[in-house]
Every structure is written in C-alpha cells, then in structure tokens.
Amino acid sequence: MSGISRRTVISRGLAAAAGLSGLALAERIADRFGLVPPDHGGIYGPGETLTYAAHRLITRHSPTREFSRAQISKPPFPNETMPPTDAFNRLQAGGFKDWRLSIDGLVAHPASLSLDDVKRLPVRSQITQIACEEGWSYVAEWVGTPLVEILNAVGVLPQARYVVYFSFQPDWSDSIDMADALHPQTLVTYAMNGGDLPVPFGGPVRLRVPRQLGYKSVKYITRMTVTDRLKPFEGSYAWYAGI
Ligand SMILES: Nc1nc2c(c(=O)[nH]1)N[C@H]1C(S)=C(S)[C@@H](COP(=O)(O)O)O[C@H]1N2
Ligand SMILES: [Mo]
C-alpha cells in the first residue's frame, strides 16, 4: 500500500472507531500503527492517544509557521527564568568555556560537545512563536543547529524512539519522539534576536521545539539521551503538546 492510501485508511479507521465504538477501539488501531503516546494510561489516556495519532498522521513532516522580522515581539516577556545554582554561575563567569552538551543512549558514538563544537555544526535560523500553556506567547528569531545534525553525527541506532533532554536546572527535563527530533525546525539554539542566547531565555544552549508548547523548549540543556522507552523519564505536563 502506498504511504498516502495507507494514511487515508488509518485516518478513516481512527475516525470511524472514535465515532462508532468509542475511544478504546481507536486506541487499539493507533497502537497497531505505533501511534500511541507514552502517557496513554490513566484518565486522559484515550484523548491523548487520539490527539497524538491524528497529529502524527497529518503533520509528521509539516512545518510550523515562520514569521517575518517585522513580526518579532518587543520585550519584556513574562516567563524568563534563571538557573539559581552556583555551579551555573561559575560556568557563566568563565564564558561557558567549560559548558558541555553530552549525547548518549542509543547512539553509535556518544559525544560531549563544547559550545564551539555546537557552533561549528550547520547553522539555521528561524522566526517562530513560543507559546506557554498559560496563554501568552512571543515571536523571536532563534539561531542554532538542527538537532538532526547532532543526531546524525553521533549515529542514532534503529531502535531509537525518543530523545530525552535534561536541563542544568535540577530536575528539569522533557522528551520528544523521533518525528520531532528529526524535524528540521527542531533546533539546538545558542543565539536569539541577533545576540548570544541570554541566560534568562535558556542560554547558553536551549532546545527549541517550535511545533509544541513552550514547556518543551527546555532551557540550559546539558545532556540528551536517545532511548526506546520513556518510563524512567516521565514528566508532569501532557507529554505531547503539539500546536
Ligand atoms: N529549564 C527550564 N526550561 C523551561 C522552563 C523553566 O522554568 N526551566 N519553563 C518552560 C515553560 S513552561 C515555557 S512556557 C518556556 C518559556 O520560555 P521563555 O522564558 O523564553 O518565555 O520555557 C520552558 N522551558
Ligand atoms: Mo509555560
């Protein structure tokens, strides 16, 4: 079956199952085609599955909207935060020369990249909107390297399903599936609106996932791990936050 007709069949099947026999059957169909998000259990499970499955069938490769330079928002923005640790302050005082971004897990060549290593990778910039689940948003230009460049450099193993990324801020992490991890708009950013990425906005390195809500764009990332399961890494918000 071709990609298009298979997709049509699966979407029709999902819609029919949701309408006729309730969410449980839709969930079974989604499961057969690998479209169940990792937080599918519990009371919001069936709804999460339908949202995720529908987005993945329709928008797996689609880009999120990009804006013109004239549409970049004027500061101040509401949610800037600082990582309140001495260790971070010491790294900042040293111009982040000792900052490392490590990549491990299901990869052929685990790596530990300095800021200069990251900056040597292909550069891409995008003007996108970051939207908080609390309702506010702003548009900015972010500059960095597509996450896929780093993943290709370390060699992702075929059983990879998610990338989990950790902040320098204690206990702050999140994860995305390979569709978002490999998406060209998912950037490991280090610059914003024409300058270095300011620390309150996640500098020196922030993952921008512009196809999902703001909380997926984790600030001060220092480690990423490629995995085939999320059980040990569960977060508190809905895992899939596509917009
Ligand atoms: N490390 C870290 N990353 C984070 C947060 C945070 O508090 N700490 N807040 C998240 C949330 S809820 C949102 S909406 C955005 C806000 O991004 P901004 O400060 O650039 O507006 O960052 C996300 N990334
Ligand atoms: Mo948020």
Cβ of 218 closer than 6 Å to ligand 1, yes or no, is yes
Which atom of ligand 1 is least distant from the CA of 138?
A: 21
Provide the token pair at 153.
């450099």
Domain boundaries along the sequence of the chain = 3-59, 69-227
Q: Looking at residue 20, what is its pLDDT?
A: 44
User: Does the C-beta of 211 come closer than 6 Å to ligand 1?
Assistant: no
Q: What is the DSSP letter of 107?
A: B
| Phi, psi at 14, each rounded to 5° | -65, -45
How do 101-105 and 221-227 pair as beta strands? parallel
Is 220 a pocket residue for ligand 1 (Cβ < 6 Å)?
yes
CA of 33 to the centre of ligand 2 (A): 31
Q: What pLDDT shows up at residue 17?
A: 47
Q: Digits of tens for pLDDT over the chain (243 positions)? A: 344 454 554 555 554 544 445 556 566 666 666 677 887 766 567 778 778 877 777 766 789 999 999 999 998 788 888 777 999 999 999 999 999 999 999 999 999 999 999 999 999 999 999 999 999 999 999 999 999 999 999 999 999 999 999 999 988 999 999 999 999 999 999 999 999 999 999 999 999 999 999 999 999 999 999 999 997 666 667 889 888
Give the Å distances, CA to CA, from 51 to 14, 18, 30, 172, 215: 11, 12, 11, 25, 18
Nearest residue (CA) to ligand 1, atom 1:
219
Q: How far apart are the C-alpha atoms of 174 and 163, rounded to whole Å?
A: 9
* Whole-number Å distance between alpha carbons of 34 and 228: 12
How much is the pLDDT for 28?
62
Closest ligand 1 atom to Cα of 131: 14
Ligand 1 atom at minimum distance from 237 CA: 12
Residue 214 CB–ligand 1 contact under 6 Å: yes
> Residue 12: what pLDDT?
52
Q: Where are the beta strands (DSSP E) in 37-149?
A: 101-105, 111-113, 124-131, 137-146
Q: What is the pLDDT of residue 3?
A: 43
**Ligand 1 contacts CB of residue 166 (under 6 A):** no
Strand partners, 156: 107
Q: Is 139 left (phi over 0), alpha (psi -120 to 50) or beta?
A: beta
End-to-end CA distance of the chain, in Å? 29
Task: Name which of 136, 111, 231, 126 is nearest 188 in CA terms.
Answer: 126
131 pocket-lining for ligand 1 (C-beta < 6 Å): no
Cα 230 to ligand 1 centroid, rounded to whole Å: 21
Query: Helices 3-20 and 45-59 sit at what angle, rounded to 10 degrees?
Result: 150
Ligand 1 pocket, mutate which of 167, 215, 221, 243 (most atoms under 8 A from CB): 215
Atom of ligand 1 nearest to the CA of 172: 1
Alpha-carbon gap, residue 57 to 15, rounded angstroms: 12
CATH 3.40.50.300 holds for 69-227: no
